Chain A
């Protein structure tokens, strides 16, 4: 350090300056760590620790009243022969296969529909997003009334079209499709917003240039929009897949509307795990199944990362 003629302190080049930079970096690191700490602690306490405990409990028979008995891999062996658990995995797979593409397409289509700034598109954006503002329990109750046999609005409309006596929530062949439909109706506004953000990040100049080159709307969509939306698409696919496997929204809908029925047709894995743990007091077995579900979820996520290369842009 040197002192100037006015007596002020100046920072001089050389070792002291490096010391100051190192110290600043450390302070920033500490500050950064402190900012992250509450989240990290929250994650550890409310997610990490329960997950670890769940893995451990999977090796015990737990009756829910304080009784624990080590059973080794018995819960995992039981899973292999549990027809209802295997059925719940099949139901979950079908739910994922139906829901994820539906959400992707509906969210993307809605975003394209409302991306232009106008009063009408503003109104439409609000309307499409509106279901998100309602509690899922309320959504389930409303749809239950709409879909009830014979006298529900949907049943009456389908009767007008010549389709009689359909039970959307009471027929095992239809119930899961009804749940998927309601899930899409509820979630598509959220994914529309995500796609809208992605679309608005694409510079207008690309489209202007393409138009000047005589590109059609389809060509613009195919060669500009879709490639540049890869990160957004990746995010949407990842989040909707995780939500579908983990049964985030579906659990509430199923709990209120079908209780896993009819005939276990809507018993997603997450719902079956809940039933085993909390209704039949098979907490150890429930934890073992939850562990398997998390492993499946992680494998799916890794696959998705591998297939999409993390949604990165292709260079060159």
Chain B
């Protein structure tokens, strides 16, 4: 009886068969997926939106920096048909990761992105960067000093517009100095004094001195000034110039800082660029960091008392520091390179007052940087006329040398030499010689834009 009713029920209500259910499910999925698949393509064909990858997170460590990006994009979008959208990539992924490279490798690179000289040749040599020269008028081009632009140019053409110049310096904790009975007169002028002070400031729960220890092009960037101070370099006229006394002593300095126990092998936060978790937290008493440290401390450790001094030099050396900094670049194979180029020039390299002010706001309000444009010094004279920005402007900026641009293969060679000496305890002489040989081997077959 039950069976009969069940059978009758099945026939009477005509329940769908398994095949019908599967077919319906398949068609339903297809119907749902079709608009999702079709819409972006249609949108792209109709009116593209340009994606702009950067690493200043909304709600990130310094709110004013993300806000600056949002304001720039909002102002552009208010008066242009082709809109720009910001896409955030975590800093660690951006600098030491593979997201950007992978995106380009799969043909889905962003239309606009930020680039540092350290990674410029990867994209420059692959002809992925749009020539921005036609979008910047001659007067604006003259506003960018040549030493700032050199690493953003190939054959005289501009492929990146810098938004900042970021010199490296040493930051120190005033509390640590005072507790050790030290004052401004004890600020080290040479490497020996730096190491001695680092040891003196080292305690059972604090390091006296801190350099970057994570391998990558950021570590190389922070090490280059010590190489240059002794007159060294990476290459000259297509041949390695790495194997010399300058490279050896620079490798030795970082090695001794760790071997003596004055400097840590592992850092807190994001690494040596991240000043709050290291210096402000009390993990170290002196930290090698860039000018951006001022805005980071202003935002996240406003009560922390600190000072800044120029990088000490080796005996017989000359004062020099490295000036890094990010630049706006456009993808030459993006969805609308023409508009992307116009956006870069409008944002950072127009002669109009709002463009100059935008750079000034970035360098003095959102961040703390030296400006890449001469006119910005005048537009933000108050900011550069006092405090630590004045110190950077008057004492450190004049010693700036632009961050070198080298292919990834070369920075890997240098990175290995630094790592082997700093953390592996290997002989600086041997590492410098080995790295130099590897650089020569690479340069023998290198055919890209000049390494600067």
Interface residues of chain A, those whose CB is within 8 Å of chain B, are 63-67, 84, 144, 147-151, 159, 165, 167, 169-172, 259-265, 274-275, 278-283
Distance in Å: Cβ of A181 to nearest Cβ of chain B: 16
The reply to whether A283 and B266 contact each other, CB–CB distance below 8 Å, is no
- For residue B98, CB closer than 8 A to chain A, the reply is yes
Distance in Å: Cβ of B337 to nearest Cβ of chain A: 15
Distance A159 CA – B261 CA, assembled complex (angstroms): 15
- For residue B126, CB closer than 8 A to chain A, the reply is yes
The reply to whether A262 and B283 contact each other, CB–CB distance below 8 Å, is no
- For residue B265, CB closer than 8 A to chain A, the reply is yes
The reply to whether B266 and A148 contact each other, CB–CB distance below 8 Å, is yes
| Given A65-B104, A65-B105, A262-B213: A149 in contact with B96 (beta carbons within 8 A) | no
Distance in Å: Cβ of B209 to nearest Cβ of chain A: 13
- For residue B60, CB closer than 8 A to chain A, the reply is no
The reply to whether B416 and A264 contact each other, CB–CB distance below 8 Å, is yes
- For residue B220, CB closer than 8 A to chain A, the reply is no
The 6 tightest CB contacts between A and B, nearest first, are A170-B265, A263-B424, A278-B98, A262-B423, A65-B126, A167-B265
- For residue B228, CB closer than 8 A to chain A, the reply is no
Distance A159 CA – B283 CA, assembled complex (angstroms): 17
Q: Which of A148, A259, A281 contacts B215 (CB 8 A)?
A: A259
Offer 30 A-B interface pairs, CB within 8 angstroms, sorted by A.
Answer: A65-B126, A66-B107, A144-B266, A148-B264, A148-B266, A148-B268, A149-B265, A150-B205, A150-B206, A151-B205, A165-B261, A167-B264, A167-B266, A170-B266, A170-B423, A172-B424, A259-B215, A260-B215, A261-B213, A263-B420, A264-B419, A275-B412, A278-B98, A279-B101, A279-B408, A279-B412, A281-B101, A281-B105, A281-B126, A281-B408
Distance A260 CA – B215 CA, assembled complex (angstroms): 8
The reply to whether B98 and A261 contact each other, CB–CB distance below 8 Å, is no
- Write the B212-253 contact mask toward A (1 if CB under 8 angstroms, else 0): 011110000000000000000000000000000000000000
Task: Select from chain A the residue with minimum beta-carbon distance to B438.
Answer: A83
Q: Which of B98, B104, B264, B408 contacts A149 (CB 8 A)?
A: B264
The reply to whether B409 and A280 contact each other, CB–CB distance below 8 Å, is yes
- Write the B403-416 contact mask toward A (1 if CB under 8 angstroms, else 0): 00000110010001
Distance in Å: Cβ of B424 to nearest Cβ of chain A: 3
Distance in Å: Cβ of B211 to nearest Cβ of chain A: 12
- For residue B122, CB closer than 8 A to chain A, the reply is yes
Contacts of A149 in B (CB 8 A): 207, 264-266
Task: Select from chain B the residue with minimum beta-carbon distance to A276.
Answer: B412
Q: Which of A147, A165, A172 contacts B266 (CB 8 A)?
A: A147
Task: Select from chain B the residue with minimum beta-carbon distance to A275.
Answer: B412
Task: Select from chain A the residue with minimum beta-carbon distance to B264.
Answer: A149
The reply to whether A169 and B101 contact each other, CB–CB distance below 8 Å, is no
Contacts of A262 in B (CB 8 A): 213, 215, 265, 419, 423-424
Task: Select from chain B the residue with minimum beta-carbon distance to A280.
Answer: B408
Task: Select from chain A the residue with minimum beta-carbon distance to B92.
Answer: A256
Task: Select from chain B the residue with minimum beta-carbon distance to A150.
Answer: B205
- For residue B128, CB closer than 8 A to chain A, the reply is yes
Contacts of A281 in B (CB 8 A): 101, 105, 122, 126, 408
Contacts of A260 in B (CB 8 A): 215
Contacts of B108 in A (CB 8 A): none
| Given A147-B266, A172-B424, A281-B122: A274 in contact with B216 (beta carbons within 8 A) | no
Task: Select from chain A the residue with minimum beta-carbon distance to B128.
Answer: A65
| Given A150-B264, A280-B409: A274 in contact with B205 (beta carbons within 8 A) | no
- For residue B102, CB closer than 8 A to chain A, the reply is yes
Question: Among residues 153 to 177 in chain B, which have CB atoms less than 8 Å away from a CB atom of chain A?
Answer: none
Task: Select from chain B the residue with minimum beta-carbon distance to A263.
Answer: B424
- For residue B204, CB closer than 8 A to chain A, the reply is yes
Task: Select from chain B the residue with minimum beta-carbon distance to A64.
Answer: B105
Distance A165 CA – B262 CA, assembled complex (angstroms): 11
Task: Select from chain B the residue with minimum beta-carbon distance to A165.
Answer: B261
| Given A64-B105, A65-B128: A261 in contact with B423 (beta carbons within 8 A) | yes
- Write the B72-102 contact mask toward A (1 if CB under 8 angstroms, else 0): 0000000000000000000000001010011
Contacts of A63 in B (CB 8 A): 126
Question: Among residues 349 to 399 in chain B, which have CB atoms less than 8 Å away from a CB atom of chain A?
Answer: none
The reply to whether A170 and B213 contact each other, CB–CB distance below 8 Å, is yes
Distance in Å: Cβ of A241 to nearest Cβ of chain B: 27
Contacts of A279 in B (CB 8 A): 98, 101, 408, 412
Distance A148 CA – B267 CA, assembled complex (angstroms): 7
Distance in Å: Cβ of A133 to nearest Cβ of chain B: 24
Distance A151 CA – B98 CA, assembled complex (angstroms): 31
Distance in Å: Cβ of A310 to nearest Cβ of chain B: 38
Distance in Å: Cβ of A105 to nearest Cβ of chain B: 29
The reply to whether A259 and B96 contact each other, CB–CB distance below 8 Å, is yes
Contacts of B420 in A (CB 8 A): 263
Contacts of A172 in B (CB 8 A): 423-424
Task: Select from chain A the residue with minimum beta-carbon distance to B216.
Answer: A259
The reply to whether A259 and B206 contact each other, CB–CB distance below 8 Å, is no
Contacts of B215 in A (CB 8 A): 259-262
Contacts of B105 in A (CB 8 A): 64-65, 278, 281, 283
Distance A263 CA – B105 CA, assembled complex (angstroms): 28
A262, A263, A281 pick with most chain B CB within 10 angstroms: A263
Task: Select from chain B the residue with minimum beta-carbon distance to A255.
Answer: B97
Task: Select from chain A the residue with minimum beta-carbon distance to B281.
Answer: A151
Distance A64 CA – B100 CA, assembled complex (angstroms): 11
Distance A221 CA – B206 CA, assembled complex (angstroms): 51
B216, B283, B409, B424 pick with most chain A CB within 10 angstroms: B424
The reply to whether A150 and B204 contact each other, CB–CB distance below 8 Å, is yes
Contacts of B98 in A (CB 8 A): 274, 278-279
Distance A267 CA – B341 CA, assembled complex (angstroms): 40
Distance A171 CA – B422 CA, assembled complex (angstroms): 10
Distance A147 CA – B266 CA, assembled complex (angstroms): 9
The reply to whether A64 and B101 contact each other, CB–CB distance below 8 Å, is yes
Distance A56 CA – B268 CA, assembled complex (angstroms): 42
| Given A147-B266, A259-B214: A278 in contact with B101 (beta carbons within 8 A) | yes
Task: Select from chain A the residue with minimum beta-carbon distance to B416.
Answer: A264
Contacts of B422 in A (CB 8 A): 263
Distance A64 CA – B128 CA, assembled complex (angstroms): 11
| Given A149-B207, A149-B264, A165-B261: A64 in contact with B424 (beta carbons within 8 A) | no
